[in-house]
Structure formats: C-alpha cells, structure tokens
Structure 1
Amino acid sequence: MGGLSPLFAPDRVAVVGATERPGSVGRALVENLADFDGEVVPVNPNYETVCGLPARDRVGDTDADLAVVAVPASAVLDVVREAGEAGIRHVVVISAGFGEAGGEGAARERDLIALADEYDLNVVGPNSLGVIGTPVGLNATFAPRAAPAGSISFLSQSGAFVTAVLDWAADHGVGFKDVVSLGNKAVLDEADFVASWGDDEGTDVIVGYLESVEDGRRFVEVAREVTPETPVVVVKSGRTEAGAQAASSHTGAMAGQDRAAAAGFREAGVVRVDTVQELFDAARVLAGQPVPETDGVAVVTNAGGPGVMATDAVGDAPLSLAEFGNHTLERLRDRLPEGANVYNPVDVIGDADNERLCAAVDAVLDDDAVGSAVVIAAPTATLDYGDLAADVADLQARHGVPVTTCLMGGERARSAEDALDAAGIPNYFDPARAVGSLGILSRYREIRERERAEPTTYDVDREAARDVLERAGERGATRLGVEAMPLLDAYGIPTPAGEVVDSPVDALAVAERIGDPVVMKIVSPDILHKSDIGGVKVGVAHEDVYDAFEDLVTRARNYQPDATILGVQVQEMVETESGVETIAGTNRDPQFGPLVLFGLGGVFVEVMEDTALRLAPLAESEARAMLDEIQAAPLLSGARGRDPVDEPAVTEALARLSQLVTDFPAILELDVNPLVARPDGVQAVDLRLTLDPDTL
C-alpha cells in the first residue's frame, strides 16, 4: 500500500452515487464537502448537476485522486474496478452489504479485496461512514456534524460512534486532524492508519475505538515503532469471557481474547483506557501537555474538600504526592497566610485571590520533586476565573511542567476554558479526572522510557521435541498429558524423573529405579482433571505400586469407559513444602499469536486467577517482570519467614516455554501446572497441552 495522506488531503474527490434526493447518503456526502478546499465531482448518470455541481456519468472520467462510493452493494465492484483502471488509488466504500451481511456479502467482500490487490488500491470500508481531513476542509462522510480542527487523529470501528464523538467534541473543545470510520476493514485496518499518522507531523495523538484487531502481531509491530514519539490511546469493547469458552486448558480459559488484546497493547506501548471519557481526557492532555519527568504531583487548592479528593485520586493513579524541598516550603510560608497548609496538598484557604493562588502554583512548579500539578479552585468573590486561567497558562509555559486544572463551577468555569484550551491545559469539574489525566502522562512516560529487549533464545533439542509432537500426531492425538513430558526436557525445563508404563510390572520396575515413594497418575487424553476422579496417587510405597496401578486404571474405566488409556505415569515425588506451586502456560490467540501466562498454580488456579500475561517470545527481563506482577509475588520472594524461591530459574523456565510455543505453532494450548518453584530451582510436575496435528 502507498501513503495514505491523499485519503485525507486529496485535490479532487469523486462522489459516486451523488444525488439530489433529500435525506439520501449521496446528497449528504456532497453537502458535507461544501467547505472542501479542492474540487468535488459528483458521479451519477441520471443527473447533469448535483447540488449545483456538474456531474459525470462515470468515475473513470473524473480524474479524481479519491473516490467515495455510495452505490448499491451490487454495483460497488464495477465502480471500484473502473476507479482502479482510471488510476484512482484511494477509495472509500460507504455502501453496506458486504461481510456484515452474510454469505453473498462475504463473497462480495472477498472480491473487493482481490480488486484492491490487483490495482494496488487503498480502500476504506466497506460499510464505512467515511473520512475527514480538517486541514483541507474534507468531510467525506454522511455525519450530521463536521469535526473541529485540532491535532488528534481518530479511528473508529463504529460509524455511529464517530457521529456521536463529533457531536460531543464540538461542545468540549476537542479538535481533530484526521478521522476515519474503518467499517469492515476489508483492506485498510487500524495498523495502516497508526503507521500513517505516526509519520504525520500534524498528528500529536492517535486515538481509537476498536471492537477487534485484525492482525494483532502486525499491529504490535507497527505501534511499537510509533508510540515512542506519538501516543496511541485505545478504548476496546468486548471485555467478556465469551472468547475463552472453547478453551480446554487453564491458560486458554484465563487468557481469553480481551486479555490477549491487553497484552498486545502493552507490548505495543498503547495506552488502553476503559471509557470514552477517559479516551478523550487522555487525548487532550497528551496533545496539550509535556511528559512529566517524575511521578510526583503537587496539588494546589483554595478548597480543602476537593484537595482531599485529588489526594485520594493520586493514590489510585500511578502517581505520588510530591515532597517539597525546604526552599519551596519557605517560599510558601512567605506568601501564604497563617492557617494555610504549605505541605502537599497546598491549601491557600478560601479567601485567596488570584495573586496568592498563583504564587503557590509558581512555587511548587519550581520544585524539582514536582513532575506535574493540579490547580483546584472553587468559585469565590475574591477569584477571577478568567485571569486565573491566563495566569496558570503563563506559569505552565514558563516552567514547562504539565498542569491540569479543576476550576469548579458552571458558567464562570466555562468562560475560562478558552484560555486554558489555547494553552493545551484540560479543565475538569471533577478533581479525580484532573489527576487521572496526569496519570495518563505518567503511563506514557514509562512507555517512552521502556527499553525493549530482544527475546532470549536457548540451546534446545528441537528435533527431540518435534519427534514427541509428530508421534502424537501420527496416532491422531490432539490432547496430550504427562506422556509429553520429554517435550519439556528437550527445551531444558526441569522435570522429575519418571516414565509412562502400561503394566503393573513395569510400574514397579520404574518405582524401584526412582526410589521410594513415588507419585502415580493415570495417563489419558480424555481425562483432563485427573485429581477429580482419584486419578492421582501421591506417596506410593514400592509394595503398593502394583495395586495402585490396577486401582488407577479401574477408576479411569469406571469414570469414562470409552476413554483412551495410555498407561500410568510413575514419577519421582517432588518436595513442595519449601516451594510454591505456580502455573506456566501458553495459549495461541487468533489475532495476537502465542501468549505466555504465569501465576499461582495448583488446584485453585482458576479460582484465584492471579496471573500475568505476555506475548511470546519473551526476553528474560519481561519474564522476570511477570513474577512481580502477580498478587502472590510476596510468596515467591519469601513471605512469613520462608526462603525465597529461585526466581532466575522461574524466569528461565518461562522464557524457555515461550521459545517452545514460538518454535511449534502446532501447540495451541499448554499448561505446566504445577511448576514447583523452590529455593534451589524449579520442576515441571504436570503437563497438559492441545495440539493441532495439521500444522506439524
């Protein structure tokens, strides 16, 4: 695909399907282009003019560089082909009736993709609201309201959401550079626009509403390059468990589609928010304010209650209250009356005028411990909000420290917002939102400063691992258990001594070789939760091995008569008293590819759901960060007088597991549960995996 700038800044736009009919999409498109700096060419063989503009019969006669197509779905392919033959490389398909409409529509969408490939077309849609480029007055949409100009570029998978946002933005001082309604994303998707806007000097922030990510890996690769210079903020819907319902492993159930997206966004450096309000709070502060150098926040207020609310909000954000230096405290004491609080939060008390409040703001912004500040004011007879807004804007520009304000009230506050908007300072009625916006700045600083390490690779026996998987595939197995433990051995993940046997005599021989006592487990791809049916025996002495074998097989047969029984695993008994049972797992997401999960393991893993998730393959530094991320991290580091576990060994096991699942796409899901972490290393005690033999 070529550059996308002509989509938003064309010289000539052809509107195919333009019409005079009131209330039609074709008419709305032409009317919305009234302020376009370039030329608009309506295309409709049934009209000589549309809205006073000379019409053409065919798109091929327009010499346009952007075609906006609003014709019946059955006619779209002919129009797009003609546009391609005429050298028009940028097409927006407004028409619906494609992939969203079922069988015939899906086939039509596949044909559209083929045309785009044949003629090297940049196609937005189909089923799109259109595109907007404010610098040239382009509004190639059928939205009822134009976009205010600004430096935010906005993509949305929902056209209705675009119309709502444009209506809201006009009343809230939010301006846009470019806007695109993605529609069905048949050709161009979110990654294409993030890449384009990342190179666009007029775009300060990229924001988006997404319901899905078409190619998660590509999106991560693109966004990873963009986000250090241009912030990307996304709100994504679909935060349900539905995507995990078909998963057969603990990891698959706990990863789910939404958690996979969250892991992908984190890897990409994308700031993910939960609500539309947060989306545009983030966009405004990232577009208007510098990135803070520290997490320390100063709160300056003339009202104690809102100051306390802001202080509470600091605790909820990735921020801390700044501790002022002695010089700052002395300046505050000199400028504030007795009864004022010079410590953070600074309370200049209710009778403060502009000069007193701004003197406090000036002092705290000059303190090296202050990375950002919130200025809170309740309306009083001694304050002029207009002057205060101008003064705060001047102080922010002079110190270069990010500031948000909370000028509380109605009309008085709104009248001051023009000065604040011009300075890029967001104003909120709610102190928590003002603090939350500063938290977004802090999160983005971490993204910019994050050093991405290359995935760690190890010397492994890939052929031995392949042999395990291919032998399973040959017998048609799709689910493997402890019989696949040699897979872990091949990748250097420690496992207890053990062997799968198919007779009690062989079981006794293995037990004698391992030493007394042993653990015995039924081995069946059809029985996933062995402990639930009594399919595991722990601490079996040699003299009991024969009977234990017979009992395990009998229990399995009684539980599921048609189950495939591969035998019984006789395994070295692992000492767990000094260790912590964890889970290490992998899952292959359709969009984001292989994922690695780590958390508290054992039989309660799905109850606790205390896990961290990352994209594979992992660098050891990322694997190490996963250990600190779970709530049970103190158990690993030695809580309540216990010895800390061997965290480097756990880290290495996670990284090796990520290499395994990256090397073998046939592994769809894999659980090592428990992975026992002890002070002297780790051992993978149990294994369960799902295999796709067709990809071996």
Structure 2
Amino acid sequence: MGRLQELFAPETVAVVGATDRDGAVGRAILENLAADFEGEVVPVNPNRDAVLELECYPDVSSAPPVDLSVIVVPPSIVLEAIRESAEAGVENVVVITAGFSETGGEGAARERELREIAAEYDLNLVGPNSLGVMSTGVGLNATFGPENALEGSVSFMSQSGAFITAVLDWANEQGIGFRDVVSLGNKAVLDEADFIREWGESPDTDVVIGYLEGIDGGAEFVETTREVTAETPVVLVKSGRTDAGAKAASSHTGAIAGTERAYEAGLEQAGVLRARSVQELFDYARALSGLPAPDADGVAVVTNAGGPGVLTTDAVGDSSLEMASFTDETIDALAEAMPEEANVYNPIDVIGDADLERFDEALDIALGDPNVGAAVVVSAPTAVLRYDELAEAVISRHTEHEKPVVTCLMGGDRARAAEISLREFGVPNYFDPARAVSGLDALARYRRIRERSVDAPATFDVDRERAREVLARAESRTDNRLGVEAMDLLEAYGIPTPTGEIVDDPDEAVSVAESIEGEVVLKIVSPDISHKSDIGGVKVGVSDDEVYDAYEDVVARARNYQPDATIIGVQVQEMVDLEASTETIVGMNRDPQFGPLLLFGLGGIFVEILEDTSIRVAPIGEGAAREMVDEIRAAPLLRGARGREPADVEGVVETIQRLSQLVTDFPAILELDVNPLVAGPDGVQAIDLRLTVDTEEL
C-alpha cells in the first residue's frame, strides 16, 4: 500500500478531546475504538487523569508514540491540536470537528490555516467535519457512528457522514462487508483521488465505491482513477445534478455542456462505473467483488417461472448485454434433457414442476455453450424445489465453468437462507430480475473499461507566439470576447479557415471580394451580436457587383438591431459549398472542476436545438477524438449516408485534437466555439469563431 497505510492500520490511536461525558462525540469515538481495535487507544484531555478506565494524557507529546490522532475538540483549538500532534511526530490526523469552510467567513479562514499546517508538516489529514474512518482489517472504528462495519473487500468513501451511518445500518442487515470506510468531510487535504489511489494499491480492496457531491481536482481525479480502474473497479454515486452551470455559460459549448455533462465525461474517461442510486451502487459492488468478468456479452436465463423470465429478458435488452444465441448442440442437449413443455431456447423455462436435477442440468448445459458469457438463475418458490439445494448447485456450476452467475431467488425466508450460502462464494442474489441483470451488466462494462486503450494526446507543430498575440487582443475589450477577427488563432494551430479579411469600408469590401474567386459571404463583426444570421447580419452568395450594397445592408441591420453595439467591421470571406458538406461544431468550455471540456456535434443554426453533441475532458488523443465523432447521432451524415459523398472525417478528428492542444496550451481561453466547422469531401474549414479570454492568465 501507499503512504496512507498507517491511517488504516495504526498501532496506536489518540483521541484528542476524549471524554466520559454522556452524549459527547469524544466519548462515542473512544467507545467505538475500545470495542474492537487491535492496537492501543490513548485518550488525550488535559482535564482528565483517566477516561473510561483508560489512562488519559494532557497532550499528544506526553502519550506513547501515536500513529493516528483523531481530533474532536472545539473549533477554536483544532489548529493548536493539529500542530501539537504534528510536532509529536504524528503523520495521520482525522479532524471530526465541524465549523470550518461549511460555515463560511471565519470558518473558511480557519480551514485555510488548517491546510497550511498540513502542508508544513506533510500530514495525511481527513476532514474537517468528518464522521471519521474505519478499517475492519485491524478492527479500527474511529468514528462516532452507531454501527461498525462487517468485514469485506469493498472500500467506501462518502462526502456525507450521515450517508455512511445509514448505509452501514442497512449493509449490516444485508450482510455486506467493507475493508475501509472514510468520511471525507470538507476534503481540506485528502480527497477522493487520494483514497482511490491508496485502495487501488491495496490487495485487500477488490472494489472502491463512493458517494460524492463534487470533485474539486477533476483533472487529477481523471488521471489517477484511470490508472486505478485498469485493475480495480470504481463505482460512484454523484449527487447534486444541476443545470446552473449551463445557464451561466455564454457560448454554445458552455450552454450545452454544463456541469453535469462535465461530470459524465470526466467519470467516463476515468473508467468509473456511475450508479444512479444507492441500491445500484451496492448491486454493482456485490457483483464486482465476487464474480469474474464475463468473456462474452451473451447471457443465458434459466427459470422455472415464465413471467420473471420475460422480465429478465427485457432487462437484458435494456442493458449493454444481449440474450445469448445457443448453438445447435446446446439446443439439442436441452431438448433431450427437458420435458416437452419446457422452452429450450433462451430464456430456458424449465417450468414450474422442475426439481433440482432439471434446474441444475439446464444451467450446466447453458454455461457450456461458447456463446454464453454469464447466466441468470431465476426461480419462484415451489414445493418440489429447495432453495438451499439450488444455491449449492449454482455455486458448483459457477465454479466449474468459471463464468459469472447471479441469482434471483424470489421469496422471503427461503431465499434468505440460500443467500447466505451464495454470498460465501461471491454469488449475489437479487429479488428483482432487473437488478440481477444490472449486476452482470456492471461486470461486462468493467471488462470493457479494462480492455480499452487510452492513447496519448498528439503534439502538433504550432505557432504559440502568434496565438498568444491574437489572444492578447482581448485586453482591449471590456468583455474579453473575440470573434472572427481572431481567426488567426485557428490558423496558428493549423486549423483550416477560408480566405477572407475584415474591412471597415464598403470600397475595401469590394476590393477584397474581387481578389477571391467566385461569390463571397459577408458577415457583420461585432462582439455584442452573437446570432448574426437572426438579424440579417450575414449575406451569402454575394457577387462582386453586389458587395458594396451588401456591406451597407448588414451594417444598417446591425445598427437597427442594437444601436449601441460595437461594430468592428464586416468580414468578406470565401464562399464554402455547404450543400455538399456537413456543418459541425467544435468547442470548449473551461469547467471549474475538470478544466477544458471539449464538445463536438452537429453545428450551424441547429446546435442548441438538436443538441447532438459529445463531450470529453481535454487533453485527448486520436482515439478519444474519433469516439467523439462516432458518438453523435448525425455521424452517418459525415460518413456518406443515403448517397452523400463522405466528408473528410480524418480532418475532423485532427481538428478536434488541434483544438484540444490549443485550449490545453492556453488556460486563458475560458470558452471557444468554432461553429460551423464545415466538413466536406475535400477537407474541413472553420467558418466562424467566438471565444472568451481571461486576460489575467495570459
């Protein structure tokens, strides 16, 4: 394990603020530690000689050498207690006390100082405002919760202490065990990435699960968790879904992406299995901690009840799995073994009078089929079938075939007795067939996570200095926004743009148009007018003799629409053939948690109406850029659907990567839209641009 080993396996724990006063948190923690902890418990309180018959010390420095300090003193003296522990050589600290950043003002200032002390002494600090930590490996319960955890191989973290107490109460009833449990509290020092890294290195943790309300260091989280999920599954429930971030954004990308989609992208790239509910969180954990991943997506369903069998089949259809197609040999073997009334196709219905032998034989034959990667055994209670015997048969076949099997033994007491036997061999039982399939689905999804490869971002030869000069133009803008006048930025990063210039005089417009072969496009250039087409600020297919009047018209329309708008000029641009092309959008919104969030999708005027987009956290490589293109519903248009000539998809993939490099190189870019990026048979071209710059970051 890593640097947090002593946090979960200390030999001596000090409770700073220990007391024997009824109802006090300091007493509850001391009692929980004294109950099962294999090491020494040291109460620290200058006003006591003994607490709960344990010798009490006035300070940590007076006590025997301490590995972990649990601090539960008033907020006003927490910092003093942390420093005192650090001076005594303690490296691991859990701060139970609340009254820090969650209270604002003075508490936030106190938490900043807490971080400074932790950094000064290089402390592993959990909290503040934490319920505490547990580790069943050494009987450690350094919390003030009412329940200790059962032993198991699942490690669990939560931003909510109340959530932990509720989960442990429920999990004990369900027979679900844990290895380590951490209440993250305010995450002033140690956060979710630290514990995921630690548990990923631990041979005692098979699955990491968690409840999170937010992720502060999104980029580090993605990098750390991606490495861990290559070997250890991570399942998270993320609460606090909101569209507030989208409402606050000014660009197309920002409006579409929003905070929730940032989490979706970040968690997916990190290899996290995201659960939609607490029940699903533990359904996934039970399957992942006890079963091997299926080597194929085909599922066999064996049941003695037609209705539940159909429900199971529907659930498979709703998942990423599929109902297995049996080989002819499997069907023949089932037909020979089963009565005529039975269904030998998938789902296998052994019918209601099936005894143990028939059920067992059907499962054995199904698991022997090469197209079957996993099985679901679904049973309703009958007088001719004992669940405890069926459980033994399932365990035997699961072990023999080395394929994951989950059960849905429906009922009450009969099922509970069998469930205990199944649990000992890692086979989870679910009352609902949909939950059983969901557990298998998590196994298959995790297999795909382990199989996928993540390529390193490409590094293109670009002109960073030219790009910096273009971005610096925003310093003269009150709103820090740039538009098509900054097209040089794209050219500096090798993103193709049409020939054109921005002019502020109709005669200049004519001159530029005459230097461009064919008809041209005229667009008003104003940082105050976002939707130029809506106000008539764009003229398409303008011939040389129409340019003068078209210039005057777009300027007049802009003035009428917004008299106080700043008008930089009019862009005269080479005409691009849109009929043979597809308009797409490539953009970026800098998310406060995850950093640069890339967006690709169907562009033009439909971007916010259809919202056909894909999202990734930058930087990304070619594989992720290609996935972004393939994921949108309009992808067939790019590949030549219904007789259309295929667009230059490789050019689109490269453009996404170049934009990824641009926004990674320049954290000053807060939002950026290339809309449309026109993708045609002969290449791609960025037609329009809009971005917002944080000039203080330049």
TM-score (normalised: structure 1): 0.98
Residue from 333, 336, 341 that aligns with 1:334:
336
Counterpart residue identity of residue 224, structure 1 = R
- Work out the CA distance in 2 between the residues paired with 1:118 and 1:618: 35
Name the residue aligned to 2:13. Answer: 13
Task: Name the residue aligned to 1:663.
Answer: 665
**Structure 1 Cα separation of the partners of residues 514 and 273 of structure 2:** 57
1:530 maps to: 532
Equivalent runs, 1:35-54 vs 2, <5 Å: 35-54=36-55
* Structure 1 residue 476, shift from structure 2 partner: 5.7
Corresponding residue of 1:439: 441
Alignment of 1:196-345 (within 5 A): 196-345=198-347
Residue deviations 1:461-481 (CA, integer Å, cap 9, x gap): 223222211233355661111
Tell me by how many angstroms 1:115 deviates: 0.7
1:480 is aligned to: 482
2:17, 2:627 → 1: CA distance? 55
Runs of 5+ consecutive residues of structure 1 not aligned to the other structure: none
The partner residue of 2:600 within 594, 598, 601 is 598
Range with bigger deviation, 523-532 or 411-420: 523-532
1:64 aligned residue: 66
**Kept after mapping to 2: 8 A contact 1:353/1:382:** yes
Secondary structure of residue in 2 paired with 1:245: helix
Q: Matches of residues 546-625 of structure 1 in structure 2 within 5 Å?
A: 546-625=548-627
The C-alpha deviation readout for 1:220-273, integer Å capped at 9, x for no partner, is: 111111111111111111221112222111101111122112211122111112
State the Cα distance separating 1:159 from its structure 2 match: 0.7
1:166 equivalent to 2:164? Answer no
Gaps of 5+ in 2: none
Aligned amino acid, residue 20 of structure 2: E
Provide the rounded CA distance (Å) in 1 between the counterparts of 2:583 and 2:307: 47
Higher alpha-carbon deviation: 469-478 or 35-44? 469-478
Distance (whole Å) between structure 2 residues aligned to residue 404 and residue 246 of structure 1: 46
- 1:174-199 deviation digits (Å, cap 9, x = unpaired): 11000000000001001111111111
State the match for 2:469 in structure 1: 467
**Equivalent position SS for 2:79:** helix
Deviation at 1:2, TM superposition (A): 6.9
Distance 1:2 1:311 in 2: 44
Give SS of 2:325's match.
coil
Q: Is the 8 A contact 1:480 1:688 kept in 2?
A: yes
- CA–CA distance in 2 between the matches of 1:18 and 1:55? 8
How many equivalent pairs are there? 696
Aligned to 2:230, what secondary structure does the other structure show? coil
Matches within 5 A, 1:73-152: 73-152=75-154
State the match for 1:425 in structure 2. 427
Find the residue that maps to 1:552 and give its secondary structure. Answer: helix
CA distance in 1, matches of 2:587, 2:146: 49
Per-residue CA distance 1:201-228 (angstroms, 9 max, x = gap): 1000000111111211111111111111
Q: Does 1:30 align with 2:30?
A: yes
SS in 1 for 2:573: strand
Letter in 1 for 2:311: M
Asked if the contact 1:16/1:71 (under 8 Å) is kept, the reply is yes
Return the letter of the residue paired with 1:536: V
Letter in 2 for 1:82: E
Structure 2 contact 2–198 (Cα < 8 Å) conserved: no
- For 2:316 and 2:9, locate their aligned partners in 1 and report how far apart those are by CA, in whole Å: 42
Distance in structure 2 (CA, Å) of the matches to 1:186 and 1:458: 38
Query: How far is 1:665 from its partner?
Result: 1.4
Q: Which of 105-114 and 535-544 deviates more?
A: 535-544
Structure-2 separation of matches of 1:142 and 1:596: 43
**Residue 4 of structure 2 corresponds to which residue in structure 1?**
4
**Contact 1:92 / 1:125 at 8 angstroms: preserved in 2?**
yes
Deviation per residue, 1:160-187 (Å, 9 max, x gap)? 1111111111111211000000000001
Conservation of the 8 A alpha-carbon contact between 1:2 and 1:122: no
Q: Which whole-Å CA distance do the structure 2 matches of 1:475 and 1:630 have between them?
A: 35
Do the aligned partners of residues 513 and 586 (structure 1) sit closer, same or farther apart at CA in structure 2, a change above 3 Å counting? same
SS in 2 for 1:494: coil
Secondary structure at 2:453 match in 1: coil
**In structure 1, C-alpha distance between the alignment counterparts of 2:325 and 2:636, rounded to whole Å:** 28
| Matched residue, 1:410 | 412
Aligned match of 1:649: 651
Paired with 1:263 and 1:76, the residues of 2 have a C-alpha distance of 38
Mapped to 1, the partners of 2:658 and 2:7 lie a distance apart of 45
Q: How does 1:668-679 map to 2 (within 5 A)?
A: 668-679=670-681
Partners of 2:43 and 2:78 in 1: CA distance = 16
Once the two structures are TM-superposed, the CA of residue 96 in structure 1 deviates from its matched residue by 0.4
Q: Secondary structure at the match of 1:648?
A: helix
* Range with bigger deviation, 181-190 or 543-552: 543-552
Measure how far apart 1:330 and its partner are.
2.2
Per-residue CA deviation, residues 624-645 of structure 1 (Å, 9 max, x unaligned), is 1111111222222222332222
The question of whether the paired residues in 2 share the 8 Å contact of 1:252 and 1:669 is answered with: yes
CA distance in 2, matches of 1:359, 1:530: 70
Where 1:571 maps in the other structure, the secondary structure is strand
Aligned-partner SS, 2:179: strand
Mapped partners of 2:564, 2:105: distance in 1: 39
Q: 1:426 offset after TM fit, Å?
A: 1.0
| Identical positions, percent | 66
Distance 2:593 2:662 in 1: 19
Could you tell me how far apart the structure 1 residues matched to 2:279 and 2:639 are? 39
Instruction: Look up the equivalent residue of 1:9 and give its one-letter code.
Output: A
**AA in 1 matched with 2:42:** V
What is the rounded CA distance, in whole Å, between the counterparts of 1:442 and 1:626 in structure 2? 22
**Alpha-carbon distance in structure 2 between the residues aligned to 1:77 and 1:92:** 12
Which of 512, 515, 535 matches 2:514? 512
Kept in 2, the 8 Å contact 1:298–1:322? The answer is: yes
CA apart distance, 1:581:
1.3
Secondary structure at the counterpart of residue 153 of structure 2? strand
Moved more, 684-693 or 559-568: 559-568
Question: Per the alignment, in what secondary structure is the counterpart of residue 87 of structure 1?
Answer: coil
CA contact (8 A) 1:481 1:524 kept: yes
Q: Note the C-alpha offset of 1:679.
A: 2.2
Return the offset for 1:523.
0.6
| Cα contact 1:476–1:693 (8 A) shared by 2 | no
Letter matched to residue 267 of structure 1? Q
Superposed CA deviations along residues 345-398 of structure 1, whole A, max 9, x for unmatched, are 111111101110111111111111111111101111111001101110111111
Aligned with 1:538: secondary structure? strand
CA contact (8 A) 1:373 1:403 kept: yes
Q: CA separation in 2, counterparts of 1:237 and 1:165? A: 16
In the alignment, the residues of structure 1 paired with residue 630 and residue 311 of structure 2 have an alpha-carbon distance, to the nearest angstrom, of 30
Aligned-residue Cα RMSD (Å) equals 1.4
CA contact (8 A) 1:220 1:267 kept: yes
Q: Which residue type is aligned with residue 15 of structure 2?
A: V
- Say whether the 8 Å CA contact 2:102–2:108 is kept in structure 1: yes
- Distance in structure 2 (CA, Å) of the matches to 1:110 and 1:289: 44
The amino acid of 1:40's aligned partner reads: V
